[in-house]
Amino acid sequence: QVQLVESGGGLVQAGGSLRLSCAVSGRTFSSYAMGWFRQAPGREREFVAAINWSGSRIYYADSVKGRFTISRDNVKNTVFLQMNSLKPEDTAVYYCARAGRSALQDQYSNSDEYNYWGQGTQVTVSS
């Protein structure tokens, strides 16, 4: 059974930084693309960032481009989301997800392409 466990969320002032981690169980982590999504209260879940199996292809939502960085460590079975220059509108529960394929091409932002999800970690940015 694949399990994803996020950590690193918390309360930070606007302009600050946080680093989220997502530890993934299972021996095939390096075979799959990974993604981060977020959901704010009263809003639909939205795509944040994705990375293919090797880390050679990375995708970001326009709202976080230039501020967030996704990376992965295929030895430690972990995917990261470094978040800098945080804004109050970044406040949400952040979820990591494992895709069903090694690369998603133009479907990286489609949540239906991800078949395993973590429980989420709260990020709150105060103004």
pLDDT tens-digit series, residues 23-59: 999 878 999 999 999 999 999 999 999 999 999 999 9
Which pLDDT belongs to residue 26?
81
pLDDT at 118 over 90: yes
pLDDT at 79 over 90: yes
In the predicted model, what is the mean pLDDT of the chain? 96
| Structure token digits, residue 109 | 């932002």
Let me know: does 113 contact 99? Beta carbons within 8 Å. yes
Of 53, 6, 1, 5, the closest CA to residue 29 belongs to: 53
For 72, what's the count of Cα atoms within 13 Å in the CB-facing half-sphere?
A: 27
pLDDT at 104 over 90: no
User: Tokens 């460590």 appear where?
Assistant: 73
Average pLDDT over residues 99-124: 94
Distance in angstroms (rounded) separating the CA atoms of residues 12 and 119: 21
